[in-house]
Structure 1
Amino acid sequence: MRWTSQTKAHPETVQHLQKVLNVDQNIAQLLAQRGISTFEEAKSFFRPDLDELHSPWLMKDMQLAVNRILKAIQNHEKIMIYGDYDVDGTTSVALMDRFFTQFYQNLVLYIPDRYAEGYGVSFQGIDFASENEVSLIIALDCGIKAIDKIAYAKEKNIDFIICDHHRPGNEIPDAVAVLDPKQSDCEYPYKELCGCGVGFKLAQAIQEKRGEKFEDLLPLLDLVATAIGSDIVPITGENRILASYGLQLLNTRPRAGFKAIIAQSKKKEFSITDVVFIIGPRINAAGRMKHALHAVELLIEKDEEKALKMAKDIELFNNERRTADKSITQEALLQIEENNEQKRFTSVVYQEDWHKGVIGIVASRLTETYYRPTLVFTKSGEKLAASARSVKGFDVYNALEESAEFIEQFGGHKYAAGLTLKEENYVAFKNKFEEVVKDQIDPKLLEPELNYDLCINLEDITPKFFRILKQFGPFGPGNLSPNFLIKGLKDTGYAKAVGKEMEHLKCNLFQSQTGPRMGGIGFGLGDQLKYLSNYQPVDIICCLDENEWNGNTSIQLRIKDLRPNLD
């Protein structure tokens, strides 16, 4: 990996923070690197406050959306809550269901089938709404590009309210209201909400309009936090406030569905990382392997016994997903090797029988292996469908726009997107995408970068330092867990490779004979054991976490990379 250091903050800012906050230089430096320069900003950072949430009425079309929904309630219209099949979509549908059913029950919940209907608003979904006398559809985490679908619904006298967070195209659907802070003419101050976050702002506005208390919405925040973590949106601004409160809820009073998932893990306290790697994949597995409505049913279930049974079923889906993911990844890697494509600027692979539910995960795995913009295609009906993933610093969405002449449909974000195309256009698209990326990408971005915040000594890692560091969370994009460079470390002589395939590295490190010893774990670094033999000094980049063992908790170095010390 290419090691790079975070830009140091201005010394005067660091000194000021040290003084007003009464913290050591390392903590002050970390805060300043996050753009914090005053006591008030630090207070706001360490104590996220719901009072700092923006007014929902600042979002374009919010008044139109609320008026139409209240009119539907007054007229006893049937409302369809329509969401995408991933975590953001399913939590959005669950949130809206839990919100509305407190005062209105004439609802239909709908999630498109990943295989029969594909992503987003579908003609089948609109037909289903029409057959069931639905007159208003609230679309969550999708719809911003569904121009033809919204027009089709209008022909059937069905109104649409869109709650999305994806980038709009050149044309905005002709819906009653379009809530999407990424619209160029939307003046909402925070642009990075997830779909569930936009849904929460709608609920907040309705609650206000009905004269009800905002506090009554707080039990919904575990759903919002799960969507924020799983959709990998920046954990800054409003997202950080919502995620903080949602995590508290998840750890103290989780809903029955989350409680059932948590019961299957041995974690005492859930972080955003645990949401991403434990809760998210299980919710996603329902839509990948069966149908996403299973996930929604789990998230809205109140009975703990029923929720436990549902969670066990979803665990089976997740195990099935893991097996498919592993075998397809192996096949995709083999395809790249056999075609001698390791030196291309992109990885684009296709096999018609690959499971559509796991191609996004496979794309992420290939990106980790070859570190380049990646697309994994499979057959989906008459067309090919793909999931795209990118490397840090490169906008894959823009690259797809440049290749749009061969694409039927696409949507997504800077680092993750989805698309469909005709099979006969696959080779032309593959070549065009390679050409676009080759032309646009900085070659440095094709080498994994590992950025560290500070160079510290082992003795700097005190219980107080770690306690303050934990308060920097929740961590995620835009507020990553700090990485530290520590130089000249030696192993006490007990380093070993661990894991089923000896793929991980476990060690106990010291910097000086009289200084502290600290345990370290390096996931996927089992092959680096050789550098720790015979008390050879090494430099590491790590973050800090806690190790729970036999009822004892200790600070642990989570090693991201290591190399021989050259000083």
Structure 2
Amino acid sequence: MPNKLVWDFLPIPMQEEIETLSQTLFSSTLPWQKTIACLLLQRGIHSFKQAKEFFNPSLEQLHNPFVMKDMDRAVERILLAIKHKENILIYGDYDVDGTCSVSILYLFLSKVYPNVSTYVPDRYKEGYGISFQGIDYAVDNDVSLIITLDCGIKGHEKVQYAKGKGIEMIITDHHTPAETLPKAVAVLNPKRADCTYPYKELCGCGIGFKLIQALCKSLQLPSHTPYEFLDLVALATCADIVPITGENRVLVYFGLRQINEQPSQVMTLLLASVPPPIQVRDLVFVAAPRINAAGRMAHAQKAVDFLTQNALEEASCLEFLNHKRKGADEQITQEALEQIVSNHEEEASATVVFSKDWHKGVIGIVASRLTETYYRPTIVFTQSGDVLTASARSVKGYNLYEALCQCRDYLLQFGGHTAAAGMTLLPENYLPFKKRFQEIVAQTLPEALRKPAITLSVEMPLKEITLPFYRCLQRFAPFGPKNMTPIFLAYEVIAKNVFLMGNEGSHLRMTLTDSSLRQEFEAVGFGLGHKKSIVEKGQPFTIAYELSQNTWKGTTSLQLVIKDIMPMINMGNN
């Protein structure tokens, strides 16, 4: 039986604020205009001007790249390297953000300058970030300038090592810096304390894009030149789960437009199995795993080769690696679930599992799947040489990193943030660490965070749903973190034509109306087959739902995607 969901509300704005914005936006009275006003206010949009910009994304809304601290230094050093015919190495992380970052800067620079090459570290031999091996590679290839993308903000020692070898660095990164910055020629990171750049949430590829914009200005290239890379910027932004707000939302909006209207061969190959229109979820769940598979199962340079060469052979390689990744993911997840049951740990405060045979490249995915299954902080260990290495995932609201800090006596090293982390320890410390971690979680995980939650935006009765409302709602897209697809609440819902579908009747399909009987909607509830007894009694019930469109045999109609169902309740806006 799935975990019971907790229903939460986003903060509901003051009624006067809703009234004021509603009257400002709409010239005539519509039954749903206050709902739209409420959704905007929940997103920090309080005025007509802000709403106009939100509903009409424009490339003119992108900020001047030279406002970013050190951008002038970075551009000056790159232009100097071009002038003196230096060898430039573009160095990036092995995930989607890193490989897309490397690819767009390489594709741009190689058009204006020949002495450019790329480097992505081996996930297993070198690990995350700048490596000594990578710097030695640069030395062996007579490189005098390294530009990092999506990494390097805490690479103080590596920057000094490179400097000792006669190599200068430009660091571009979006991760939170330490109090002191690496002593590089330039450090591009909107999150550095002394940077006044207006938008702080760009991903690594987004910062790479801003560098390209700045170089285009300095080289007096057409202003539209960087826009050819918006498809990869959108892919990286969505895959890296950064907020889809402000500048990110503009980049994703136009990146998706490009992918749908003028797709590159790369995007055509990556998304061949997806029917149009391509949306954020397709980038996250279809394109991104194929790119990530290279770094997980082989070497991420294969992803860069594909993204920069558009090669069908490389696309086939990525597809093979992703298929291999899926197989390993499914097998290890099943083995981990069996281990939990055999150890009688179904009710443990946290999941900690280990096998020396598990593939290091997929343990992070497995940790996510186990978290979904049992909804508690999860750590998955495997053997890596003489030590055990792990990936960890948390539940929403629980600070995983702080819990690990209380177990540091058993760890050789660890790092991460609230939601995810990685660590290594000696084999003999596995069981003591597991016991301590589970004790810490038991003591510090609040009861309110022990069940998954869905966050509802506002009440929206079925009788008020119209096609114009749905069209207006679609203008909130692209959806993503900090701008999620709204989940609405509806009371006194009545069902008919209820039946189960899918494997073992796990999904629910039905026709819904409300007490007004004004209109009916087809509805689907994925994974809600166990709720059939609530809806088939003929009694009113309460739903949390998203609104979508469904096309069947050439006819398009509105459809409700049910997120959860409860017997008739009256929650109020609390």
TM-score range, shorter chain: over 0.9
- 1:451 paired to 2:455: yes
Stretches of structure 1 that go unaligned for 5 or more consecutive residues are none
The aligned counterpart of 1:165 is 174
Distance apart, 1:411 and its partner CA:
4.1
**What secondary structure sits across from 1:102 in the alignment?**
helix
Match of 2:98 among 53, 75, 89: 89
**2:152/2:173 contact within 8 Å kept:** yes
**What secondary structure sits across from 1:37 in the alignment?**
coil
The aligned counterpart of 2:267 is 258
The aligned counterpart of 1:563 is 566
Q: Deviations over 1:458-495 (max 9, x none)?
A: 12221111100010011111111100111222322242
Q: Deviations over 1:119-178 (max 9, x none)?
A: 222222222222111221111111222333333322322222221112234553332222
- 1:509 paired to 2:508: no
**What secondary structure sits across from 1:129 in the alignment?**
helix
Q: Which amino acid aligns with 1:268?
A: P
**1:166/1:411 contact within 8 Å kept:** no
Q: For the aligned residues, what is the CA RMSD?
A: 2.2
- 1:101 paired to 2:110: yes
Distance 1:438 1:489, change over 3 A: same
Q: Deviations over 1:363-386 (max 9, x none)?
A: 111111222222222222333322
Q: Deviations over 1:165-206 (max 9, x none)?
A: 122345533322222222233333322111111111222222
Equivalent runs, 1:223-302 vs 2, <5 Å: 223-265=232-274, 267-302=275-310
Q: Which amino acid aligns with 1:311?
A: A
State the alpha-carbon separation in 2 of the partners of residues 153 and 501 from structure 1: 59
Q: Which amino acid aligns with 2:301?
A: L
The aligned counterpart of 1:142 is 151
**1:495/1:508 contact within 8 Å kept:** no
The aligned counterpart of 1:544 is 547
Distance apart, 1:509 and its partner CA:
1.7
Equivalent runs, 1:332-481 vs 2, <5 Å: 332-481=336-485
State the alpha-carbon separation in 2 of the partners of residues 150 and 434 from structure 1: 38
Distance apart, 1:403 and its partner CA:
4.3
Match of 1:30 among 39, 45, 57: 39
Q: Deviations over 1:434-469 (max 9, x none)?
A: 455445443311221111111121122211111000
Q: Which amino acid aligns with 1:466?
A: Y
Distance 1:44 1:264, change over 3 A: same
Match of 2:132 among 113, 123, 126: 123
**1:256/1:301 contact within 8 Å kept:** no
Normalising by structure 1, we get a TM-score of 0.93
Stretches of structure 2 that go unaligned for 5 or more consecutive residues are none
**2:106/2:117 contact within 8 Å kept:** no
Distance 1:340 1:493, change over 3 A: same
Distance 1:215 1:406, change over 3 A: farther
Q: Which amino acid aligns with 1:250?
A: I
Q: Deviations over 1:15-49 (max 9, x none)?
A: 22222211622112211222222100101111122
The aligned counterpart of 1:21 is 25
Normalising by structure 2, we get a TM-score of 0.92
The aligned counterpart of 2:531 is 528
Q: Which amino acid aligns with 1:384?
A: L
**What secondary structure sits across from 2:485 in the alignment?**
coil
Match of 1:177 among 186, 190, 199: 186
Distance 1:125 1:290, change over 3 A: same
State the alpha-carbon separation in 2 of the partners of residues 475 and 91 from structure 1: 21
State the alpha-carbon separation in 2 of the partners of residues 63 and 433 from structure 1: 47
Q: Which amino acid aligns with 1:483?
A: I
The aligned counterpart of 1:320 is 324
**1:258/1:299 contact within 8 Å kept:** no
Q: Deviations over 1:39-98 (max 9, x none)?
A: 001011111222222222232322222222111111111111111111111111111112
Distance 1:353 1:129, change over 3 A: same
**2:351/2:379 contact within 8 Å kept:** yes
**1:493/1:535 contact within 8 Å kept:** no
Distance 1:170 1:288, change over 3 A: same
Distance apart, 1:226 and its partner CA:
0.7
State the alpha-carbon separation in 1 of the partners of residues 401 and 66 from structure 2: 30
State the alpha-carbon separation in 1 of the partners of residues 158 and 428 from structure 2: 25
State the alpha-carbon separation in 2 of the partners of residues 451 and 245 from structure 1: 28
**2:22/2:37 contact within 8 Å kept:** yes
Tell which deviates more after alignment, 174-183 or 468-477.
Answer: 174-183
State the alpha-carbon separation in 2 of the partners of residues 501 and 123 from structure 1: 53
